[in-house]
């Protein structure tokens, strides 16, 4: 009998595994995730969610009387044989169901559990014998009674998120394994690349110039002094948004942990492990708040940057007026305005798709030193921009992009460096022939 092969062929000093075995292993792994998610989901629904829902929707409310009380002890044994005890009040309630008196013991809500017996006795003293109580009993089992209704929202969240995440990972992984069954990594990467190319929305093109990006979105904002105001690409704004999202989500988790710890401490018990987990989470949360406000103060102090230009799109060999306006209350050691040409290439390296960018040409338009802000007045300067006569026009294709941009770089006092990018589009050079007709000449740097 021939044993199954686990390797397909040898490449140099190594063997490559059969794609079918790899897909089988991934399928088993994601099947385990799917089964675990379904199992945990069913257990949490039947053990927590469904009973709690029945208490709030199907239990019948009656008036009862407290006729007895005591303490219920819960014993938890660890792996070393030690025992840990917790206490909570237990109440004997008498209530009437269809003319019949029913007596039933009930333990109060688990949030009132205490690890010290003295504290539990103190809580028990708050219940007065003979007092009237509102209670709810189970119509299917009249001896099952509760003294409180309500939802533990965090249990419902846990019951939905954890099993849901496992089920989602399991299903998507199984679908991927079935799709990749018997296919090589190179073939999968090629198919994935084609999917990305199909989903990616290409840049709009200029009519008559299929490889030149359109500049409609760059000329739809009129300037106050010159003809057009260029849109801004600011890395600081994205950093502020990212820091704010991280800080908000992280500190929500910290608040939930802190509330849980506070409830435990108020109930006379303290989980050492939860306290130990809360400390580093709090430190990271405070640090994220500090970073967010530092970034917010930076963006506010620097202020917005506006660039206006007298004409757009640009043509090689032509001159344009550029107006720079920098608001804010920060002093700058240096401000520099550049004209840059950036190339972008998307290529496949092995089975990976990579994108690299490189500034291949740069020209300093103007430099300003030691700029002091005036109260309520932005710094403004008008400069002249001359595009080289042999400049390459803007270009955009599936794998290559040539883009022009104005870049403002600044060094403020006591703040990080400033970078603001203003994209522009360069059309091919235009000449006039001997018969007076215009023609396009494509030049290359």
- Three-state SS sequence of 371-416: ECCECCECEEEEEEEECCCCCCCCEECCCEEEEEEEEEEEEECCCC
Please report, rounded to a whole number, the percentage of residues in the chain having pLDDT higher than 90: 12
Beta bridge partners of 338: 364, 407
Render pLDDT for 252-266 as a digit per residue (tens, 0 to 9).
888 888 887 777 776
Confidence of residue 432 (pLDDT cuts 50, 70, 90): very low
Q: What is the pLDDT of residue 214?
A: 75
Q: So what CATH class is 305-441?
A: mainly beta
Evaluate whether 379 touches 322 at the Cβ level (below 8 Å): no
For the ranges 57-71, 167-181, 270-284, the maximum mean pLDDT occurs at: 57-71
Q: Which of 28-37, 102-111, 332-341, 394-403 has the highest mean pLDDT?
A: 332-341
Band of residue 195 on the pLDDT scale cut at 50, 70, 90: very low
Residue 430: what pLDDT? 65
Residue 437 has pLDDT above 70, yes or no: no
Res. 436: pLDDT tops 50: no
What does the pLDDT average to over 389-414?
Answer: 89
Buried b (16+ CB within 10 A) or exposed e, 39-66: ebbeebbeeebeebeebeeebeebebbb
pLDDT band, residue 180 (cuts 50/70/90): low
| Per-residue confidence (pLDDT) for residue 109, from 0 to 100 | 59
- Say whether pTM exceeds 0.85: no
Residue 439 confidence class, pLDDT cut points 50, 70, 90:
very low
pLDDT at site 267: 62
**Confidence (pLDDT) at 365:** 92
Q: What percent of the chain has pLDDT over 70?
A: 76
Segment 125-167, tens digit of pLDDT:
877 888 888 888 888 888 888 887 777 666 666 667 777 778 8
Segment 201-240, tens digit of pLDDT: 444 455 456 778 877 777 778 888 898 888 888 777 778 8
How confident is residue 77, by pLDDT bands cut at 50, 70 and 90? low
Alpha carbons 233 and 352: distance in angstroms, whole number: 28
Model pLDDT, residue 310: 92
Residues 146 and 59: their CA atoms lie apart, in Å, by 9
Query: Residue 134 is inside which H or E element, if any?
Result: strand 132-138
Spatial neighbors of 50 by CB under 8 A, at least 6 apart, are: none
**Mean pLDDT of the chain, nearest integer:** 77
Report CA Rg, the chain: 35
Residue 30 has pLDDT above 70, yes or no: yes
What is the number of helices (H) and of strands (E) in the chain? 7, 20
- Write down the pLDDT at residue 384: 92
What integer pLDDT is reported at residue 198 of this predicted model? 47
Quick one: tokens of 188? 């999968």
* Angle of CA points 418, 333, 340, to nearest 5°: 45
pLDDT tens digit string along 320-378? 999 999 888 888 899 999 999 999 998 887 777 788 889 999 999 999 998 887 777 88
């Amino acid at each position: 009998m021939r044993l199954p092969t686990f390797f397909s062929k040898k490449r140099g000093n190594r063997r490559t595994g059969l794609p079918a075995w790899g897909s089988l292993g991934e399928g088993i792994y994601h099947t385990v995730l799917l089964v675990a998610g379904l199992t945990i989901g069913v257990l949490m629904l039947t053990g927590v969610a469904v009973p709690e829902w029945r208490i709030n929707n199907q239990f019948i409310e009656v008036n009862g009387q407290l006729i007895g009380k005591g303490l219920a002890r819960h014993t938890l044994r660890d792996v070393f044989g030690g025992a840990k005890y917790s206490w909570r009040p237990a109440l004997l309630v008498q209530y009437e169901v269809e003319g019949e008196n029913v007596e039933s013991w009930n333990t109060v809500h688990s949030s009132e559990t205490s690890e010290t017996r003295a504290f539990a006795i103190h809580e028990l003293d708050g219940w007065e014998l003979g007092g009237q109580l509102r209670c709810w009993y189970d119509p299917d089992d009249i001896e099952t009674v509760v003294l409180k209704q309500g939802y533990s929202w965090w249990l419902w969240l846990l019951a939905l998120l954890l099993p849901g995440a496992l089920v989602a990972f399991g299903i998507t992984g199984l679908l991927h394994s079935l799709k990749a069954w018997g296919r090589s990594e190179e073939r999968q990467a090629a198919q994935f690349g084609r999917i990305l190319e199909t989903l990616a929305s290409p840049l709009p093109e200029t009519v008559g110039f299929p490889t030149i990006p359109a500049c409609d979105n760059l000329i739809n904002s009129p300037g106050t002094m010159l003809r057009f105001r260029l849109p801004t690409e600011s890395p600081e704004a994205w950093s502020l948004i990212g820091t704010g999202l991280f800080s908000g989500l992280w500190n929500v988790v910290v608040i939930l942990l802190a509330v849980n710890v506070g409830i435990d401490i108020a109930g006379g018990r303290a989980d050492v492990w939860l306290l130990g987990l809360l400390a580093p989470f709090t430190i990271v949360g405070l640090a994220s708040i500090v970073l967010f406000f530092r970034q917010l103060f930076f963006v506010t102090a620097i202020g917005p940057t506006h660039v206006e230009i007298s004409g757009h799109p640009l043509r090689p060999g032509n001159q344009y007026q550029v107006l720079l306006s920098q608001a804010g209350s920060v002093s700058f050691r240096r401000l520099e305005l550049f004209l840059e040409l950036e190339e972008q290439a998307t290529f496949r390296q092995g089975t990976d798709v990579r994108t690299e960018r490189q500034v291949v040409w740069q020209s300093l338009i103007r430099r300003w030193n030691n700029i002091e802000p005036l109260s309520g007045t932005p710094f403004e300067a008008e400069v002249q921009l001359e595009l080289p006569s042999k400049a390459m026009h803007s270009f955009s294709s599936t794998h290559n992009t040539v883009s022009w941009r104005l870049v403002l770089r600044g060094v403020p006092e006591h703040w990080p460096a400033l970078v603001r990018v203003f994209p522009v589009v360069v059309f091919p050079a235009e000449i006039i022939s001997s018969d007076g007709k215009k023609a396009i000449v494509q030049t290359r740097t």
